[in-house]
Every structure is written in C-alpha cells, then in structure tokens.
Structure 1
Amino acid sequence: MDQNQTTSTTTMEQNQTPSSTTTTTTMNQNQTSSTSTTFSSLMIGLKPLVVSLVIRLITFSFLLVSLIVIATNSFDAFDIYGFPIKVESTDIHVYRYMISADVIGMAYTLLLIVLIFFQAKSGSPIDSGLAYFEFYGDKIILFLLTTGAAAGLGLTVEYNRLKDNDETTQNMQNFINIANASASVLFLGSISSAISSVISSLNLPKRSSS
C-alpha cells in the first residue's frame, strides 16, 4: 500500500507541475503584453507633448535673439541745438511695441514650456483647463508677435523709401538694418508660434475630453 500511495502521489505531482508551469507562463506573457501595450499607449500620448515642447523651445530661442538685438540697438545723432545724443530703440514707439511683444511672448512661451515639461514627465494627459489656456493663449500671442514683426518690417520699408544720404541718415540706416534683422527673427518666432497654435487646436478636442 505504501508503494501504491507513493506512486499515486508522484503521479499527481507530475500531473500538477506542467499545469502550474503553463499557468505561470501564460500569466507572465499576459503581464508582458499588458506592459508593452501600456508603454506603447504612453509613448503615443506623449508624442504631441514632445513635439509641442520642441516647437516652443524654438519659438523661445527666436524671441530671445530678437529681444537682445533690438534692446541693444542704438545710434548717435544730434538734437536741434547741435548737441550729440544717443537714440535708443525704446525712443521709437514701433520698437517699444516689438520689445513688448518679445517679452510677453517669451514669458508665455516659458510658462508653457514648464507646464508641458512636467506634464510629459508625469505621463498624464493635459487637463481641460490647461488645454483651453493653451488654445486661447496661443491665438493671442500669435497675434501679438505677428503684429510686432509687421510693425518693425513696415517701418524699415517706409524709412528706405524716404531716406537721404547724409551722415546722420547713414548712422540711422545701420540702426534700421539691425532693427530689421530683429523684426525678421521675430517674424520667424511668429511662424513657429503659429505651428504651436495649430498643434494646440488639433489637440484641444481629445485633451479637453480627458
């Protein structure tokens, strides 16, 4: 009887071992498949955030260059009494507007960069409040940057049409050329901001519904 019991016990253990191994293997495969699916979904969800982050970094770089160029631009001239004076960019209303557009655009873009970075790091989708803030904020900033660039470039066109050839005008010509370069960089910033605006418009429905 002992031998029969031993044989029966061994047979039961042998029968149970393949079944247990098969179950464990199946569970491991299911867990691996689930992890892979979750990772793929996470990467797909993060792609728009990463693209938006890169575009905003480019926008911030353009605005920073534009601000540095226009804020440090100046030329030497003479007042009505013949005394030498230094004309700064802030003395001209058009360039004040450009500087304001640069500063406001940089502040907004930097804020969005920080928010999107932490959102991408957490791996969770943007909530509806932030999605609407990004959507409407992009439209306002795009308008501001575009009008700032247009004002700066328009002043250059008008000046070149009316300019003379004396020494003071030559100094101002260099000043205008540098300001024109700043306006051109600001225009590039407005283009990248427009791309961000399109992205936020396309992503608004799915982000606001989450």
Structure 2
Amino acid sequence: MASSRAIPIATILLRILTFILLAVATVVLVTDKVKSKDVFGNTSEITFKDIRAYRYVLAASVIGCAYTLIQIPFAVYWVATSKRMIHNDCLPNFDFYGDKVSI
C-alpha cells in the first residue's frame, strides 16, 4: 500500500518543485542586468529586453508555470483519492501532449 502512494506523492512534490524552480528562473531572468564595457570604455546595461531570444525564454518559463499550475490540482486529486481523474480519456491525452510541449 505504501508503494502505491509513493508515486502520486512524488508526482505532486515534483510538480511543486518544478513550479518553484520555474518561478525563480523567471524572476532571475527579469531582474538580471549585466554591465558591459566596449572597446572605447563606454558602459551599458543589458537586460533580457535587449536580447530577442531571452523574450522567448521568458515566454517558455511563463507557459511552463501556467502548465504546472494546471497540473497541480490533478496531482492533489490523485493523492487524495488514489485514482486518476479521467473523463472520456481526456486527461491522459492532456498529460501526454502537455509533457511533450512543455520545456
């Protein structure tokens, strides 16, 4: 019985850890500033807004946070009732395709 509850509990703990790490990554990305000097000695600050690829990283991080927040209630339900919430085989497809899309 204990081993059958270990997987749902690990799932919810890992979902919460994923959300925390994504939120921290988002905060670090948004608040980080780098000062750089060019050849002539001029200094400038570079933020995530200055590099286009960082905008995509920020979008992926926000989407990952939203996806994880959607998944946490399903994991809580799985821990509380010891059964998956399946309605017309929708949730397993959501899990499968969502995990393929998320970063």
Do the structures match in fold with TM over 0.5? Answer: yes
Rg larger in structure? 1
- Alignment partner of 2:95 out of 130, 134, 139: 134
Listed as ranges, the matches of 1:44-63 within 5 Å are 44=4, 46-63=5-22
Shift of 1:135: 1.2
- Alignment partner of 1:88 out of 44, 47, 56: 47
The residue that corresponds to 2:59 in the other structure is 100
The residue that corresponds to 1:116 in the other structure is 75
CA distance in 1, matches of 2:36, 2:9: 48
Higher helix share: 1
- Determine helix, strand or coil for the equivalent of 2:84: coil
CA distance in 1, matches of 2:96, 2:6: 18
The residue that corresponds to 1:181 in the other structure is none
Cα offsets for 1:132-165 (capped at 9, x unmatched): 1011100110xxx3xxxxxxxxxxxxxxxxxxxx
CA distance in 2, matches of 1:103, 1:65: 11
CA distance in 1, matches of 2:68, 2:84: 19
CA distance in 1, matches of 2:84, 2:66: 23
Gaps of 5+ in 2: 38-42
CA distance in 1, matches of 2:99, 2:47: 30
CA distance in 1, matches of 2:52, 2:84: 42
CA distance in 2, matches of 1:125, 1:99: 32
Shift of 1:105: 0.5
- Determine helix, strand or coil for the equivalent of 1:70: helix
Shift of 1:102: 0.8
- Determine helix, strand or coil for the equivalent of 2:60: helix
Shift of 1:48: 2.5
Listed as ranges, the matches of 1:13-24 within 5 Å are none
CA distance in 1, matches of 2:69, 2:98: 13
Gaps of 5+ in 1: 1-39, 79-83, 146-210
User: Is the 2:77–2:84 Cα contact (8 Å) retained in structure 1?
Assistant: no
Percent identity between the two aligned chains: 29
- Distance 1:126-1:47 versus aligned 2 partners, 3 A rule: farther
Q: Which runs of 4+ in 1 moved over 3 A?
A: 75-78, 84-87
Amino acid at match of 1:51: A
Cα offsets for 1:75-96 (capped at 9, x unmatched): 4579xxxxx8654212211111
Shift of 1:119: 3.0
